Amino acid sequence: MVLRKLRRYIRLLLCSCVVIFLVIFLLLNNHLPQQAPTSGHGTSTRIKHLQSRSTSPFCSQFNETMLNLDHENFPNCRPKMEWMRDNWETHACYSELGVDGSECSSFVYLSQIEQHCPPAFPSHSNIPPASVIQSRKLEELLLLLSDSDVNYNFIKSRITRLFPKWIQGINELQNSIPNLWNRPRLNLILYLGFLSHETGLKFGEKSTTGGPLGEMVQWADLITSVFILGHNVSISSEWNSFKTKADEYENQGPCPRLDGKQVDLIFTDIMGLRRIKRKKKNFFTSNKCKFRMLDSFGTHAEFNSNAYFKAHSSQIGGKNAWGGHELALQQFLTMYPHTDDNTFLGFVVETYDFHETVARENITVVYGKEKYMWKDSEPILQIAANYTQIHATVADSDEIMPAFH
C-alpha cells in the first residue's frame, strides 16, 4: 500500500502542509481500495445505467467460470454472493435493481451497485462521478464550524493562522500531481465527539488553559485538508448536529439509495464512536467500513478484539475502556507512527526561517495524563531526570506530584 511506503520517509520529515495534504490525499483515494468511488451522482449514475441497460449480453454468455469470487481486492464478494442466493427476496429493492435470483444477476448487482465484486462490465466501470470543487476561501471553511460557540475556538485560531501555508502547500502539491483535481468529490462527515457537551469534559472551554490540544491540532489539520482538497464536508461537535447530518445519508433499506446520496467516510474519535454505536446502531452497522478513527496513540490488535482481550485479560491486565471496537486496524489514524498496523496521519509542525543558532536543551516529555499512570514510576523518572528536564501533565489530581529538576 502506498501509505505504508510513505511512512519511512514521513518519519524523517517535519510534517509540512504539503506532506499532510499528500497523506490525506492518498488516504481518501485509497479509502476503499477494492471499489470505485461511490459518492455524489456517481452512485446515482451507476444505478440509472444498470436500470437502463440490459444485462443480457453479459448474462447470455454467463457461466460460473466467469465469476471471480475470491479476488484479493474484493474480500467480501464470496460471502455476499452466498447471502444473495438465499436472501435476495427479503427486500423489494433487490429486484428493482435487476436481481432475479440467478447467479449472474446477483453478481452484476454486487459488482455494479454495492461494488463488493469485480466489475461485471469493465468497459463501463469508470462512470464519471461528481468532481471535487476547489475551495480556497477561509471564510467558507470557518462557516462549517458552526454548531458550537466555544468548541472550535482553538481549532479556528489554528486554521486561520496557518491558512496561508495551507494554500502554499496545495499549490506545491498540484505542481507535483497535475491531475489533482480530476477526482471524485467525496461526502465526508466529521464528528468531534470528544468536544460534545454530553461528555461533560468541557474541552472546548478549557482549550485556552490546557486540555487535549494535540487532538485539536490534528482535527484542525484534517478539517483544513479535506476542505481545500475540494470534498463535501459536514462537521459536528455536538450530537444533535451530527445526528441531523447523518440522517441525511441514512438508507431506508439494505440497498443503496436510488438518489445516490451516500456517505463515503465518517471521521470521528473513540468517544464519538461509542455514542454512535449506542444511539445510531444501524448507521454504525451499515457504515462500519467507512469509519476512520482519530486515535492519538493507536489501537493494537489485542485491544481491538473483544474476544481476544477477554481470553487474555489476565496476561494483558487492566481494562479495555478505549478498545473492543473490532474495526480494521488501519481504520485507526494515529498522531505518531506507533505501529504499522494503524494508519499514520500525523499533523503539521510549524517551521520558521530563523537564521540564528538556537541553543537546544534536552527535555523529556512524559505522557501520564491521569494519576494512576504514575504509580511506581519514580525510579525510572529519576534516571531520566539525571540527564534531562522532565515535563508532564496530570489532569485528574491536585496532589503534589514528584518533582524532578
Q: Is the pLDDT of residue 226 over 50?
A: yes
Q: What is the CA radius of gyration of the chain?
A: 24
What pLDDT, on a 0 to 100 scale, did the predictor assign at position 57? 60
* pLDDT, mean of residues 229-247: 96
What is d(CA 77, CA 118) in angstroms, rounded to the nearest whole number? 8
| SS3 category, 47 | helix
Q: Is the pLDDT of residue 48 over 80?
A: no
Q: How confident is the model at residue 41 (pLDDT cuts 50, 70, 90)?
A: very low
Q: 9-37 pLDDT, tens per residue?
A: 444 344 578 778 788 888 887 754 334 33
Q: How many CB atoms lie within 10 A of CB 239?
A: 20
Structure-block grid coordinates of residue 46: 451507476
Cβ-based burial of 86 (10 A; exposed 0-12, middle 13-18, buried ≥19): exposed
Backbone angles phi, psi at 76, to 5 degrees: -95, 0
Q: Is the pLDDT of residue 2 over 60?
A: no
What is d(CA 275, CA 239) in angstroms, rounded to the nearest whole number? 8
What pLDDT, on a 0 to 100 scale, did the predictor assign at position 55? 53
* pLDDT, mean of residues 187-214: 88
Q: 330-376 pLDDT, tens per residue?
A: 999 999 888 889 999 999 987 777 677 778 888 888 877 777 777 88
